[in-house]
Each structure stands twice: as structure tokens, then as C-alpha cells.
Amino acid sequence: MKGYLLFEDGTRFEGEIFGYEKETVGEVVFNTGMTGYQEILTDPSYYGQIVVMTYPLIGNYGVNSDDVESENPKVKGFVVRELYENYSNWRGSETLENYLCKNKIVGLQGVDTRALTKFLREKGSMAGKIIVAKEYDENDIEDIKNFDNHRAVEKITTKKPYTLKPKLTKIAVLDFGIKQNIIRFLLKRKAQLIVYPAMTPSEKILEDNPDGIFLSNGPGDPSELHEVIENIKKLIGKKPMFGICLGHQLICLALGGKTTKLKYGHRGTNHPVKDLLKDRVYITSQNHGYVVEEDSLDKGDVIISHINLNDESIEGIRHKKLPLFSVQFHPEASPGPQDTAYLFDEFMEML
């Protein structure tokens, strides 16, 4: 069935519908990873987004029950150059198309993803709509104009606290849209995790007396989360703290910094980041559309620990006096390289 991806200015990219046949609106972003499409589909940080894969062949190793970062896909739509239907992998249990159908996610294949990515790089990430088997009209343009993904964290955070064992060190985890591999990495280090909804008051967390506090990844604009930022201000300095991605941005905002939206974001598994403290470059997995403004940070209290070698944006900070650090990239990977997993060990040592 014919379909296409439509933008507000009338630009459209044609293809064939696969997966669940429905129209959908979302922020259109691209990911440069060659593998890991199942982890990308289920990453809560992609909530509200239509993801374009720049690698041309997707679906060749199928889908399995292990490589998931949440209970179901969080994307609004999925755009690829070529869908491979006859998957071949010993862990594969079903095709990518069946998986999308089952989870009611629309896909668009046969798209010139190189041209689409160049379009997004020039124009910046923007809202779009996947249209199914019809010409677009003014109602479709209005749908795109009215797209709203504000305060996305509230829609995907856990509804109530839950505890994960084994127990050695107790870590309070604030869930802004946490990936399962972060939980796996912390459990692997023999920590008891109490996972809290995003809006949990600081008083409740401190009442449970954790040994440390972890702030997760998540979707959306960090500056909208005013209550969360105020809670983090009350937690900073009380317990050792580590933040990843959105957690990093929220820590910096709580410290008085500012964030700004990138033109088209950093999404992929091949982003070079330099650890300035170790004087070493790592290849990292990334998924974010916002970044911390360097000039907004108080250099008397904070040092920049990591930078992105593509655009020199901030990728990590450490506090000079308090047990606190954070990174913009994903050291838990999934998908991508696990070169920076040492940061979890440093957090455990800090505890």
C-alpha cells in the first residue's frame, strides 16, 4: 500500500506502508546506527517521534524477546529504505513487520532516506505525518501544526514505585523514561534499586534513605520539568548522584545551567566523545535533541568532563565539591558500543 511522510511545508517522501496501517503524527528524527533497531523502537526517549533509520537495510536479524528497553515500542512511526522480510538470526522469533503490527506501529519503507536525512539536517528536526493511501489535505497540515509532545516524561514514567534486588547498595532511581539496560547494568553491580515515578517529591526519596540517586534518560524538553528540577535541587549534595541523558540535562538545570534544542539532535551509535579527565576518546551511543549550554554553567563549581568531537557540545560534567557527575551519552549502550560502561563502576565507587 502506498504511503508517504508529509511535512508542514508540503514536502513529502513517498514509500510503501508496512506494519500497522494507520496514520500518525510525530517529530521526525534520524538515527545513524547500523544495528539496534529493536532497542531504538523500545527506547522511551523516542516517545512521540517518527524515527528514520539512515542505514539502508533494516529487519535482517528479526526481533527477539531480549533486546527491548521497555515493555513495548514507544515511537510513533518507523521509516526505512529497505525492509528485509526473511530475517536470519538464531535469536530471532518474528519479523520486524509482525512486531510493528502487533504493537500498532506504522512503518514506511522504500523511502529515499539519504534525501530525507539531508532534508532534516538542513531544516532541523520537525513534525511530520505518515499518510496512508490518500492525498493530503488541509486537515493533515493542521494535524502536523498541532502536534504536541510537551511533558512527555509524565506519559511514560512508572505509575508507582517498585523495587529491584539483589541488595547490597540501595540506589534511588528516578524514572523519566528509563531504558532496561540501565537497570541491568546497575543490578549487575549488585545494587538494590527503588524505581520512583518522575514527579516523586525529594522528601519521599530521602525518607527511604538510599545510598545514592540515579537520574535516568527520557524524552522531551528538560526545561519544562519545573517540579523535577526543584526536587533535584533539594537532592543535590544529600546523596551521591549520577545522571544520564535527560538526567544529565536536569542536573545541569538544577545547578543553574540552561539547555537549548539542537537543530537535528544526536542519534546513533557512532558519536566520538572525549573524556577530558582520562584524555581518551570513546565511541558512544546517543539519543537526544537538547544540549546544555556551556556558558550557562558555573565553572567555579562544575568542570566539563566530556565533549562531543563532532560539534564540541558538552557531553559530561562533574561537581568540584559534591559527589555528583552526569553524561549526555548512553554508557549502557543498547544499541551501540559499551566503551563507557566504566562510568557505572565509578558511580558504585562513589557510593
330 counts as catalytic: yes
Catalytic residue among 245, 248, 252, 266: 245
Cell numbers for 12: 513529502
Q: Which of 248, 266, 306, 330 is catalytic?
A: 330
Known active-site residue 248: no
Active site residue 332: yes
Catalytic residue among 23, 27, 97, 332: 332
Positions marked active-site: 245, 330, 332
